[in-house]
Structure 1
Amino acid sequence: MLDVDSLVADRSFGLSYLAGRAGGIRPVSWVHVVDLEDPWNWVGPGDLLLTTGPGIPPPADQREWLSAVITSGVSGLVVAPRPGVHELGAAAVSIADEASFPVLAASFDLKFVDLARRVIDDTLRREGRRMAAVHRVFDTYSTSLSRTESLDERLRSLCRSVALDFELFDDAGLRIAGTDSITSFDESTTILTLKPPMTPFRAELRLRTRDGARIDPALEHSFSTIVVLELQQHARDHRAASAAARYVVEDVINGVRSDAALADALEERGHVRAGQMVAAAVQWETNGVDRSAAPALWGAPLLGAWQDETFILFCASDPRVQSDLRQRLGEGAKIGVSEPISSLNPPQHAARQAKMALASARPGAPRVFAPAAVTAIVPTAPDECRLIAEHYLSPLLAHDRAHDATLLDTVRTYLRRDRSAAKAAAELHIHRHTLMYRLRSVAKISGLDPTTSAGTAMLWIALEAADRVGWPEG
């Protein structure tokens, strides 16, 4: 953009500084010639004010006059005095220097029209480049839509067309898409908070020009508008896909659907059919974000659904898938992975293995289920087994004996049936509502809720320990 220094450097205009040289970097977008006593009423920010001097007051009033000119936001003042007008005195020069406001001297012979043409031509060229950049953004976007690229690929294409870098994050700070990592912030960087209509989340968009210049507002608006449209469409698609995935996952875990149906559903989501499948249990910090949105999981080739605070999913038995999952959810995510799904390890068992592995997983390091490792969780010493069983299960045993109830047997059956309320109720020959009432009683009496991951883990360990020593005796 043209600035005051650039005009002074053009010797054809014969301009020189009277004051305010430090403000020479002020941009100039338009020129106004005003010889009235109140020029501030006719100009605005970015304008260069030109005058031949008849409106300049006597020296005693010049300080107040120039203060009003400065307050109007103009980029500078050019004085090409005609004979008989007041010259700017020391007081005016002093206030201009204090405000770093450029005041330029010019000859009365200066052709204002030439100066104005230079500024206007630069402004029109700049506006032309701006519009060309905006057109390139929308042309590139239209082309990328026809190629059915992903959200990340489409936005990368847009950035290449206009020399931008970008990063897009969800409310939890998880990266949705981006080119390079933007960690340094200066005038070339813009940070925007976006709220796509009819979506349960916000997003942070970071934009940076590759040449270090300030990003153009029109380009910023065009790019951010496209991002909002993309997020809105992806949120809508994700909601529909998540609802379908939830039914598939629940049916698979409950044994209603076969392994082949699971493989078909994964293939529809981009999973390569060749190779083995595994179950995974995942927990990550959502920072209060509606987890059903989960922008970080958009486009991932996996099939999942929420169970309490744990996301249960099925995916390829491929370390690259797990690595991609870790990158999407951040290093704080905890991931438990099952053994490969097979005829001997059906999906419902694999899901349970994944939750067991999750119980001992550390953030950033996926834990793969290993039977020996799980067995090692339960102590082998009889005294330790008895201590664990008595500590966690004695309240339930006391309740059963006092009320002729069967809470211990109920929770044992529920866990053995992989927390399937339908299967456990059928085996116990009770109504499902009765089962859920008993499980709530278990949580109230023992402090361990068998319908949660944490409660399942502790109750399972306690029951395993009890079985090893035959507790309770008799």
Structure 2
Amino acid sequence: MAVTVGELLAMPHLQMSLHAGARGLDREVSWVHPSDLPNPWAWLASGELLLTNGTGLPSDSPGQASFIERLAEAGPSAFGLGLGTGGPPLTRALTDRADELSLPVVSVPYSVPFSAVARAVADVNEREGARQLASVARLYALLRTSMARGLSGPEMFDRLGRELDARLYLVDPETGLSLFDEGPETRFADALAAEFAAHSQAMPGVLRLRRRDGDGRWATALAVAVPGDQPTALVAEPTGEQPPSLGLLQHVATVGALELAQLAADRERRRRRGADLLLHLLERRLDPTAAEHQLADSGIAPADSVLVLTQAASDGIADDIHRRLSRPRVPHLLLRRDDSLHIVLEDRPELLEQILVGSSAPMGVSDRICTAGRVPEARQEARWALGAAKAENRRVVRYGDETALPLPRTPAEAQVLVSRVLGALMAHDAEHGTEYLRTLRVTLRRNRSWQLAADELHIHKQTLGYRLRKIEQLTGRGVTQTDHIAELWFAIRAHDLVHSRCPVRG
């Protein structure tokens, strides 16, 4: 059993005096924590004796009363003030509030160094170290048995929490939501998200969270950082009178890191299943009824969903978007092909914002998908919208938005566009066996690089130049003027919709 505040006061060589909080003299002191920070509760563990010179203590009565209230929420054993060190005197407001909270307030004379108090606590608490080791051993024994029984993450954390007299949650600090699909949610979700935002989207080692209960009283919890690549918090809501030991919670946070690895593996499996489903939908490889069932199983309602198309030069971009959608449990399908990212998700502005975060690439958004069989057409709509976004230097264009470029609404409208812009070209190809349409497509896809286009077409650059001049004669549009390029590009996209149920890549 650890030394109590009353036992420390009884040690004559320490010469400590009591100023308030006599009802808390039986509190055990696990450690001595010297600090002159204005918010020492952010670094204090339950059962620790805070010793301060007072330089971080407010001088006014309301400030001191608030200071002792915030300090008490961290569960310290006592508050100790070093005398003669330049700090402000204790106000009546502080001592009265300490009496109400049963938090001992003691003073240490100038002649007694803080290290003497720390040494006295350490000498008495050697036995406490053995008890802490035993607690750690029990935690890991619980972990082993939980894993052997195949318990789910929520079940395992429930068992660990009962050992610590707390409710435990593995949480995304940005949203405050549990990382377990079926896991319970912490009551401190909003408080955690606010603190995380206040720390510039970074998770400190420990956060002390507060919220008002229905009776108007403040409830408190601890949030401990979980090791890993993505910010994650272990939230502990005390069920007893004192919060769990910070040291024990850090051991549980290590367990949380193991769970995160499992969750990441599960998330990757879901992503691959979603990518396969989206690929099959785009290539019309699924029976319509089966497709509708698989979309429902993935949480996707086609009537409320859109297809988003954006650039993704690397798998890292796709991984990041998948993580940001998965953590708040947003149903989605994601497929990366040909440096483009296809995403199917519910048509909500805040979800589209999640995709835009951290990326400057333009984005095209289709009309509502409506049915599983319309996914290929939705991709074409998103392609048209993305082309308009690029041409007009806009971040997002939705199919049907007002643009300076022609966006056909139906296959019939697409056919009109194809006939008007490419009709003469297609007729010449059909009559003479030429490849002017393919030449135009490759040239535009290669960003009008003559060398790259000629290499892909296996022709000489001079031959390419002749073909481009012929294309300009037949269509009345060349590949040097921006408005002509846009019309030709959209006409080719319209041709893909009209002449292929699954549009040609590029």
Q: TM-score if structure 1 supplies the norm length?
A: 0.46
